Chain A
């Protein structure tokens, strides 16, 4: 049985604590009295995931019939799925989506369904390459569907293939992929990496248009999502639930959600999964070997090594049927893996950011993504109240190079160069610049025809941190490129010790400190 997550209080015997630092690591000594929140060890995976999938499809939850009884000859079937933003890092084959979809397709074939289309639910993310699709779905699915145009990637700017389902009572437009909405059955397959994912949010972000997305992807919504990792207290989820219910009234949806454990890193990086005082001689040797090697290679090479990592995480649950009933069980399974009780807030929150987030698979974690990962995702990994007090300080550790992937993130470069030089206030940014970027024909062209994130996506990165920006008094980045750090309105520090001294100017002498030992991922249940 895996051990639960817990909070360590640092004392003089505590060894240095591992901080992720982009394509590298740092061992940092935290002051005595600091707290370190450790994730739970990976929960046991399903022994026979394929059997569990079949069981879920045949025994759906909520107001839903078994999948085979929903399938019949002559029907129009669409299977939408999460894109490669989850899980992180990409999992070793077979991916959950491949497992689920292969079984769904077998059932569809047995029922004589021949109008089947697969849609990767990208929302406003970049399209995936053939190699990325093959990795996610397996060669069998790819070769059967892609050459015939039956494996498509959702295009939120293809207005001929979008349809307005309706508007909620709050006036929210529900505009989605026409193929999905006009199908006799829409099956959605997800990988629920964190508590934010899944439920109605899947369709409302994955196969919707910008017009729809802006109802919940906005600054006010994010500032009122406390946190967006806690759906009952998230305005993001309130909106997507309203919109999703409207869709569910119009289209028959069969939701299949899967969860994974936190067995995040392969054996050569096993030390990343362990608590430092339990490192074996081999772990220590691995750490020093890996760290020293990474220091000697250019960042480009280190990045390519890390992006080659395929995670050994395994399926821990699968449930199918009506969206909300499915998602309730999914969240219980996510919480079973992720929840760590923490008492009280700290003056200072520290975190080491890794090389990858949801938006830079096979790409660069540029400064905006650093902000989003730190102040968006990691800061919001709480239930109850933030790990850091109002007016406190967040210290991130990451190289934060002034570096962008020109193909994947073109609008990010312009946002960084032209928007942040004027203001870093999310509300002002939204009001003054969002529409201009969102409707720029060049970004739209690159999103549709190249491998670029949508022009507005850079804004969402900033909005994702809006709650944190409103909450904290200062953000310091340790080891970041000063020019890039300052552009975002943050403060650079060379060392953690310097950063802690700087933090004292904001929160006073001898602050309380909490460090989140993440990844592997956890969700702090703060009381």
Chain B
């Protein structure tokens, strides 16, 4: 089968790190990612099924990996070589399915499950390097499962969600990022807050805006967006005020009608979702959040240098929001995500599709999506040979 494969190759990884540091996406040209004919993965055990991806998205975490920017935190929880791609809509013997990629206790054949999986919190599974599979926190980072950037892969039946006939492939491929956003929106235990801020308006940011509007129902939702198309989409998805990233502190100050204390907003927002994950965005988040309230890191931050004095002084609650599972209401995040994709028409965020042959162009497009008026770039496997 044809697949984009990421191998352990330190010199190439170093080259990707240098190239990706200069031009985002350039790591695809010099790094360890390659298009290859490889064997289809074996079925790891009972309950596993072979599926054939139709569309597979390119995520920010994929781009970090390709450009050599991933945190070393991931070293023990990935296995090489792996086929990237965890935003997947695929054909299976059950029909069209969306994959919930977390490789938790159940797919790993671990029984009894860890306390988190037992509670339905599969995103917090502590056995992601154990069991019948090689290490891998998700499909797309595990050597045994393959990934979405290929013509074939395997997934456990517990990971498969049937796609309604009325839902297009483009909408279905947005279910996984939408699930991340729903989980993030549900992360702080607040309802109808006065002011919420979403920093960043890439795929994660836009999905989070849509999720926050529907799940938190804030009085005012302020979003930051770099590019004109992002601004337009942010408003369409539920932002009341959209500003440029450098303007967010003043916007929050004005909307909250509070004083400034140095560079920090005195009253600020009850919840800030950081969908960028840079030192600057986290710094902004801490500056604009109301004392004792919530900053949620939705975008994968990696290694950043921060002055945390403000966090300490304002007693800010800093939380991560990773993946999905079961929310506190007992609902499965993916079920809520299907609703969000349909209600907010998130399929429109798919801006471009590429074949595997053009993976370098695809990565380049995805790495510069905002500036090029795009949001989600996906691989289209529907016409691939050997599928």
Contacts and interface: CB of A to CB of B under 8 A. Distances in A.
A295 interface: no
Nearest to A445: B259
B161 interface: no
A344 interface: no
Contacts of A288: none
B258 A442 contact: yes
A105 to B, nearest CB: 40
A417 B257 contact: no
Contacts of A445: 259
Contact of A442 (B242, B243, B257): B257
B177 to A, nearest CB: 27
A442 B244 contact: no
Contact of B247 (A418, A436, A437): A418
B260 A418 contact: no
B251 interface: yes
Nearest to A439: B257
Interface string B240-256: 01111001001101100
Nearest to B267: A442
A441 interface: yes
A413 B258 CA distance: 16
Contacts of A441: 257, 259
Chain B at the A interface: mostly helix, strand, loop or mixed?
mixed
Nearest to A455: B254
A417 B243 CA distance: 7
A414 B258 contact: no
Interface residues of A, number: 11
Interface in B31-60: none
B243 A418 contact: yes
A527 interface: no
Interface string B56-76: 000000000000000000000
B250 A414 contact: yes
Most chain A beta-carbon neighbours within 10 Å: one of B251, B254, B257: B254
B251 A418 contact: yes
Interface in A413-470: 413-414, 417-418, 421, 436-437, 440-442, 445
Contact of A440 (B241, B247, B251, B254): B254
A418 B241 contact: yes
Interface in B217-255: 241-244, 247, 250-251, 253-254
B250 A417 contact: yes
A440 B242 CA distance: 20
A442 B251 CA distance: 13
Interface of B: 241-244, 247, 250-251, 253-254, 257-260
Interface of A: 413-414, 417-418, 421, 436-437, 440-442, 445
Closest 10 CB pairs of A and B: A417-B247, A442-B259, A414-B254, A414-B250, A440-B257, A418-B251, A441-B257, A417-B243, A413-B250, A417-B250
15 contacts: A414-B250, A417-B243, A417-B244, A417-B250, A417-B251, A418-B243, A418-B247, A418-B251, A418-B254, A436-B254, A437-B254, A441-B259, A442-B253, A442-B257, A442-B258
